[in-house]
Structure 1
Amino acid sequence: MDRKLEDYEIENLLSWLDKIPFSRPKRKLRRDFSDGVLVAEVIKHFFPKFVDLSSLTVPFSSREEKLRNWSLLNRKVFPKLDFYVPEEVISEVVLSSPGAIEPVLSTLREKIDRKLADIASKKPILDNVDIKTLEKTPEAIHEVEARILAQLAKMKIDEENIQKTMKQKVVVESCYTVREPTLLRQFIFEKDQVILDLQEVVKILQTKVEKLEHLLELKDIRIDQLTKINASNGFNLTL
């Protein structure tokens, strides 16, 4: 994060920022982002539930208020992206020092891209299943059902493993005490990050389970419809 960006990297970063709708016009990067508010808006653009903008002090604030904003982001928002800005870097950013904010924003962009890719990778294959598939033949319906059940089974195993991991970490972390302040802050940061990541995965799995169960309900309804149609046409349909 302390690396100075090349000109082309800064241009690329500015192009990325231009695509984000901010609450106020961007005029000078190092001043616009010094209070942390626009940084929070960047995160909220991609992850609306990650940050509450009302908890931050309004722009054009004092140095103390700017530091408060950054401290709040470091404690409650950045960990959700596995991101952390050192205090010495924050001090430079708050003072609008030349070249201080660009590496922070560049690293933040990398973390955001990584988080988006991680979320995308957790989407079940069945997200791509067209509901119209359930309007086809009984064989197609059974194929969808088999895929849904397999996905549900995998999700159940994943969730059980996550819960087990969370319990294990609590036990391990309770077996010792970190006394040095710097190590303690890092220890707490890493612990909270692991918990947040695991909780996020659990939420995603729970949402997917609900969607898959809904697909199963639609499958059952369609089977009933096909059974009635075939019965009315004099066919004996065995599913």
Structure 2
Amino acid sequence: MATALVTGASAGLGEEFAWQLATAGHDVVLVARSRDRLSEIADVIASATGQRAEILAADLTDPEGLELVAARVADPDDPISLLVNNAGFGLGKGFLDSTWEDEKRMLDVLVTAPMRLSHAALPGMIARGHGAILNVASIAAHLGDSTYASHKRWVVEFTQALAGQLADTPVTATVVLPGLVETSFHDSEELVHMRSDFPGMLWLEPEQVVTSALAAVRRGQTVVTPSVLYGVAGAGLRLLPARFTRRRRTGEA
């Protein structure tokens, strides 16, 4: 039975990934900081789908927490076939206005954790002859106006580099670039203004993003944008001179 591990599984896209994967017949390992919330989700998923739903409460900004998850990802006796690096958050403020502690936390979650967990997962996947890495980036990767955007651009570049190195193996790497999504990501005081700043047509449902991402994994596709509108926008942003995409904005997607 294939098992998928999802970080940031206590809400939003992570919770939707867990549901869709379990519904499709995967056992799931749910990773987030809140043990109580994970337990609630795991119980409902297991009852509704009949699949095993394991929980792993860990803070990815804590080296010990990250290594705990890495050990689970690399466990040869209970292997992970799909690693979904989904955990993330935004600060909603510029680099000059944020604290070093907050910037370091975001770097740890958006960059260090996906790299560490991918490094832990890949040797076993290659040895077993199957497996996939799915990284969640953002359409913001096409911008250069914040550290959040810079980290998400790194996620895209990292995934493409992995895909190239995995080309001669049965293992794949995929990155999804959603735009604005109807989740709790934008509920924080710093980001909630974005709900009124951007029209409804720009907001995607979690189901759409996750369905597109998992379909891309099945196809072995490296980069997927789960919306025609955002696909066109991303193509346009890539063509713009850097001086336009690096202008500071008031929010992050």
* Structure showing greater Rg: 1
Same fold (TM over 0.5): no
Q: TM-score of the superposition, structure 2-length normalised?
A: 0.24
Q: TM-score of the superposition, structure 1-length normalised?
A: 0.25
When you count strand as a share of all residues, which structure comes out higher? 2
